[in-house]
Amino acid sequence: MGKKKNPPDIRERFGYAVKSRREELALTQEDLAEKARIHRTYLSDIERGSRNVALINIERLAGALKMPISSLFLLVER
């Protein structure tokens, strides 16, 4: 019998939401990282779900993605 795969955790869901919105806006990781004032490799880690993102960076990302923080988290909850 195979192992059940756990559902994605909040970091993975958040990363997917950020990546989806970034692609929707036709931004590269470099573009978004610059707008959010974070390092591109840090953004890459976020999108892969391997970072536990600080609140200040969530706020920066939401601003760079041109959306309120609450809307970003609505994408996470989908």
**pLDDT in tens for each of the 78 residues of the chain?**
566 778 889 999 999 999 999 999 999 999 999 999 999 999 999 999 999 999 999 999 999 999 999 999 999 998
Q: Which of 17, 9, 7 is nearest to 70 (CA)?
A: 17
Half-sphere exposure of 51 (CA within 13 A, CB side): 20
pTM equals 0.90
**DSSP of 9-71:** -HHHHHHHHHHHHHHHTT--HHHHHHHHTS-HHHHHHHHHT-----HHHHHHHHHHTTS-HHH
pLDDT score recorded for residue 6: 83
pLDDT score recorded for residue 4: 72
pLDDT score recorded for residue 41: 98
The encoded tokens of residue 70 equal: 């609450």
